[in-house]
Amino acid sequence: MEEYLKIETNIDFDAAYEAWRANKKQINPGVFVYICGAECYSRSLKKMTKCNRKTKCNQRCYQHKGKPIYNPSK
C-alpha cells in the first residue's frame, strides 16, 4: 500500500483576494479591468489617492509611467 505525504497548507484567502483586486476595478459582476493604481494628488479631494484610469496588462497610464503603486498606509 502506498503512503502519501501529508502537507499542511495555510492560505489566507482574504489577503489573497485583496491582493488580486488591488490593481483591478469591477465593471460588471465577474468582469474586471486593470487600473493604473499610481499615487496621484486629487484636486477635488485635496489629498493623495490612487489613479483609476484603465490600462492594459497591469501597466501604468500615460501620465504615471514609472511611478510606484499607491500605498495608503504611508
**So where are the chain's domains?**
17-74
Name the residue with higher pLDDT: 67 or 38: 38
pLDDT at 68: 67
> What tens digit of pLDDT does each residue of 39-63 get?
888 888 788 888 888 888 778 888 8
Structure confidence at residue 71 (pLDDT)? 65
pLDDT of residue 13: 94
Comparing CA positions, the residue from 26, 14, 15, 20 lying closest to residue 52 is 26
pTM (2 decimals)? 0.63
Per residue in 5-29, pLDDT (tens digit) is: 888 889 999 999 988 888 889 999 9
